[in-house]
Structure 1
């Protein structure tokens, strides 16, 4: 039987709040399900609260609200922070993505998270409502 985790998109006001919302959706109050994009992808592999057989889905309610909160402005904020920690050989790439976000172009955090959820779960198990 498929377990469906509900992401309440209206509660997502930024990236930090997204980590709280998805953690609670999967593992209850105070729950963890990643605190960065790589950790989210790792959590989808199992052992972090989802069924071992991989029979789970995500329903992202009010995803348009989340898309706004995780849009280009929040993406630029995230990339600014990433730039300060980036390896010198990666700074030009991060700066280019930051410039794109500041111009309102390129993938947003919402786009990246949706891609991770869609790629890491069974096809068809991410419902945006």
Structure 2
């Protein structure tokens, strides 16, 4: 089944942070640039932002290297950058997430990105999008 789907390849050896991942992922998009916002990534995966129609395979080479690059330190850096724009009603929970990342606990950026992608594949809430993730 996957051999009939287009295969888009992310090379985890080509980046060392979220900005680099955004540049690498944007290489896959036809006429669209993703800037690292995770809500926007979810939208991109729904289609219409330069991804193939009718399902595709996202083959993530060097995924273990990416797991390290998008680990707790990079997660904390992202949360620190976003802290100034967090709604006051959400600030306490946001600061809790940031403290956990600084301690090396909780989900990492890699975990969040993988979870978002998997929501668009088999068993996910947006499985109709037909995205198959291969971590290599």
Report if TM-score (shorter chain) is over 0.5.
yes
TM-score by structure 2 length?
0.86
Structure 1 residue 127 corresponds to structure 2 residue 130: no
CA distance in structure 1 between the aligned counterparts of 2:122 and 2:36, rounded to whole angstroms: 22
Alignment-derived partner of residue 103 in structure 2: 103
Say which is worse superposed, 115-124 or 36-45, in terms of deviation. Answer: 115-124
Instruction: Report the CA distance shift for 1:111/1:74 in structure 2 as closer, same or farther (over 3 A).
Output: same
Match in the other structure for 1:43: 44
TM-score normalised by the chain length of structure 1: 0.90
CA contact (8 A) 2:18 2:36 kept: no
* Residue number in structure 2 paired with 1:11: 14
Query: Alignment RMSD, CA only?
Result: 1.6
Inter-partner Cα distance in structure 2 for 1:59 and 1:96: 33
Deviation at 1:67, TM superposition (A): 0.8
Query: 2-side partners of 1:118 and 1:46: how far apart?
Result: 15
| Residue segments in structure 2 that go unaligned for 5+ positions in a row | 124-130
Structure 1, unpaired ranges of 5+: none
SS of equivalent residue, structure 1 residue 91: helix
Give the 4+ runs in structure 1 shifted more than 3 A. Answer: 121-124
Matched residue, 2:127: none
Paired residue total: 126
Which is further off, 101-110 or 113-122? 113-122
How far has the Cα of 1:81 moved from its partner? 1.2
Equivalent of 1:23 in 15, 21, 26? 26
